[in-house]
Structure 1
Amino acid sequence: MPDISYPVVVAAAKTWFKLGAVDVQMEGIEHLPETGGALLAVNHTSYVDYLMAGYPSVARGRYTRFMAKREVFDHPVGGPVMRSFKHISVDRSAGLESMDVAAEALRRGEIVGIFPEATISRSFLIKDLKTGAVRIAARAGAPLIPVVTWGCQRMFTKDHPKDFKRGKTVLVKVGEPMYPTGADPVAETAELRSRMEALLDACIREYPAEEQPPGSWWLPASYGGSAPTLEEAEAIDAEEKRKRAARKREKAMKKRKK
């Protein structure tokens, strides 16, 4: 089935970049294969990461099929949109099945995108990674390519108002491919995280200083910003998860009473 939605969104994104003076600077796109499958492991700092992390593939004449939680596909509006892009539904209660679906897409020659941190990093640093990325790549015999974006969090992320004002820079760095064997997923995941951290460090240090003054809320504390530390962010995430679970229990109780 031909792609219909993707070209339209790519054209709209390019128009936005031009009219909004969004300076998207990409490096390392030569690491993306022109043909054949590849799994992109992307850091997660914002709600527009899909768009920016998929842009290097577009530069290579290809599209990225992102893995996303099943709840997005269950949404009456979001579901049809996600399926039109041929993105991949992830059921967290059926992890092996989701990995099989992603591996099959890689074997078909697709570029697949995954966020191994699972959720947005409030610290904007690389969180602990799930082992799914290396396991999927090993299962499919596909290269695993780290991709890091920086600057997207300034536009639309957790705990902060949207800001799509003109004149923002976004850096996208594509690293050299890894070839996981799956023999030691924990060690291979640690290597992936190390590579992503190196790319992120380069992004932060190369970002225009005038757009990233000391104390900026979008800058990690370890780089002179006021974002939460990894530990503080983890505590916030845990509280958010607790409240979400409580709301679900309350909703379920109300249903049983009806």
Structure 2
Amino acid sequence: MVRPEVTLENYEDVYRFYLDHRQNRFLARAAYAALSARYRPQIRYADGARAQLQELLRSGTRLIVVANHLTDRDQYTLAATAWRTPLRSAIGRTRVLAKDELFADPKMRRAIDMMGSIPVFRGKDHGLRAVADAGRAMMDVAAERLHRGDVLAIFPEGTCNDGDPARVQQINSGVGHIAVKARKLGSEPALLGLGISYHPDRPADVFVARPVADLPTTPMNITRTVATELQAAVDEAIATRPARQRTPSR
């Protein structure tokens, strides 16, 4: 299938393409491994979270991963984290929502397509009315990919946090709508919160929360759950620890 130009005017062709797009899994794993070696995030788990995450992935439970958004390198930290956690098993079938401007440069697009990205046309860039139809199409595609068995990764704040990195910004309701749409398709997605904290003199700390397997029924209540879970994960990520030890991979 020919890759369509990623523009708002062309959104129907864009989402028709990303409904079925598959990256080369071997290349994706190699890229994730390289990012892990470069960024080396230090992973810490909530009690029982690692085992619970392994079981959810093993059982085929649909998984929505949410992380706070601090810098333009968050996607690399997220990929490196995936390699160092049980999420490694989902590399090659993980979809990451990414702003449409990242798809403009052909070289960058090849890279993020290989990582499994799906473009998002943001209201802050194009206007809320202009992106309404494209937004609904994006959520339909994300829900369908989730229902088919892909892991879905989202930065639900929608934009980098230029204020207080310790406080999660307002969460966009799209994550709640995607979860409800996936449920209507017959899936019961679980939620995994990842808190990221950066430091000037050492690798990022990432806290893996306990997955939430029983989500509320409405988009608004799911969005509130995301906000609560993500803030708790961020609190843990930035908490001072007396000893920082590398956790086992996977």
Q: TM-score range by the shorter chain?
A: 0.5 to 0.7
Identical columns (%): 23
User: Does the CA contact (< 8 Å) of 1:29 and 1:56 recur in 2?
Assistant: no
Distance of aligned partners of 1:143 and 1:72 in 2 relative to their CA distance in 1, 3 Å threshold: same
How far is 1:100 from its partner? Answer: 0.7
Aligned residue identity for 1:43: N
Give the conservation status (yes or no) of the 8 Å contact 1:150–1:200.
yes
Alignment counterpart, residue 138 of structure 2, candidates 83, 90, 98: 98
Out of 42, 49, 62, the residue aligned to residue 24 of structure 1 is 42
Aligned CA distance change for structure 1 residues 144 and 120 (closer, same or farther; 3 Å): farther
User: 2:90 corresponds to which residue?
Assistant: 62
Specify the SS of the correspondent of 2:137.
Answer: helix
What's the CA shift for 1:208?
5.8
Q: Are the structure 2 counterparts of residues 11 and 199 from structure 1 closer, same or farther at C-alpha, using a change threshold of 3 Å?
A: closer
Aligned residue-pair number: 194
1:145/1:13 CA distance change after superposition, 3 Å: same
Q: How does 1:14-163 map to 2 (within 5 A)?
A: 14-17=36-39, 22=40, 24-27=42-45, 28-32=49-53, 33-34=56-57, 35-58=60-83, 59-60=85-86, 61-63=89-91, 64-92=94-122, 93=131, 94-122=134-162, 123-124=164-165, 125-141=167-183, 142-152=188-198, 154=199
Tell me, in whole angstroms, the C-alpha distance in 1 between the residues paired with 2:37 and 2:75: 17
Residue 210 of structure 2, aligned match among 175, 188, 191: 175
Question: Which segments of 5 or more consecutive residues in structure 2 lack a partner in the other structure?
Answer: 1-21, 123-130, 245-250
Structure 1 distance, partners of 2:169, 2:71, is 14
Relative to the length of structure 2, the TM-score reads: 0.68
CA offset at residue 129 of structure 1?
0.5
Q: Is the 8 A contact 1:135 1:182 kept in 2?
A: no
C-alpha separation in 2, matches of 1:56 and 1:194: 21
Report SS of the residue matched to 1:80: helix
Aligned equivalents of 1:199 and 1:72: distance in 2?
A: 27
For residues 33-53 of structure 1, give each alpha carbon's deviation from its aligned partner in whole angstroms, at most 9, with x where no partner exists: 323421112111122222333
Distance 1:57 1:4 in 2: 15
Conserved in 2, the CA contact under 8 Å of 1:134 and 1:180? no
Give the distance between the partners of 2:203 and 2:243, measured in 1 at CA: 12
Whole-angstrom CA distance in 2 between matches of 1:149 and 1:208: 19
SS in structure 1 at match of 2:221? helix
Deviation at residue 139 of structure 1 after TM alignment: 1.0
TM-score normalised by structure 1 residue count:
0.66
* 1:174–1:6 distance in 2 versus 1, CA, 3 Å: farther
- Alpha-carbon distance in structure 2 between the residues aligned to 1:172 and 1:48: 17
C-alpha separation in 2, matches of 1:136 and 1:209: 39
Asked if the contact 2:70/2:160 (under 8 Å) is kept, the reply is yes
Of structures 1 and 2, the one with the larger relative CO (CA 8 A, separation 6+) is: 2
Q: Distance in 1 between matches of 2:79 and 2:203?
A: 18
